Structure 1
C-alpha cells in the first residue's frame, strides 16, 4: 500500500443498495470547492450587471473569497494527518 493511499483512505457512503466510494477524498474536496468558487464568482458577476442586485453580488464575492481561503487549507490537509501516537516513540526516534 502506498503512503498516499494510507494517508487518504477511501470514503464509502452507503446509499440504499448502492455504495458511493470516493477515492482521494481531499482531491475531490478541492475540486468541489473550486466548482463552488467558480459558480459563486460567476453568479456574483452577473448580479453586478443588475443594479438592484449589487448587494447580493457583494455577498457572493465575499463567499467566493472565503472559498479561495479554503483552497490552501485543503491542500495542506492532503499532506498533514493526525493519527494515534506510537507507544514506543523514544525507541522509534532513536532508530532513525
Structure 2
C-alpha cells in the first residue's frame, strides 16, 4: 500500500470529513477512529469488502453511540491485507 493512503478532507473539520484511502487490491478492511488516549471511539467499517483503488466514506464526528466527540485529533486506523495504516483528522468545534 502507498505510504500516505489514509487521508481526511477537509482537515481540520466540522461537522463532517471525508476519509479517502487507496487499496492496491480488493479485500476485507476495517476502519476505526481512535482518540489520542488510544481509546476506540467508533468503528466505521468492520470486515467489509472494498475494491482495489481509491475509496471514500464520510465520518460525522460522532462516537459509536451517536454522541458528538469533543474537539481534538483522532487517528483513522485502516487494516487491510494484513497491514495497518493510520492517518489523522482534527475535529474543531
Task: Give TM-score, length-normalised by structure 1.
Answer: 0.19
Report which structure shows greater RCO (CA 8 Å, sep ≥6).
2
Higher strand share goes to which structure? Answer: 2
Q: Which has the higher helix share?
A: 1
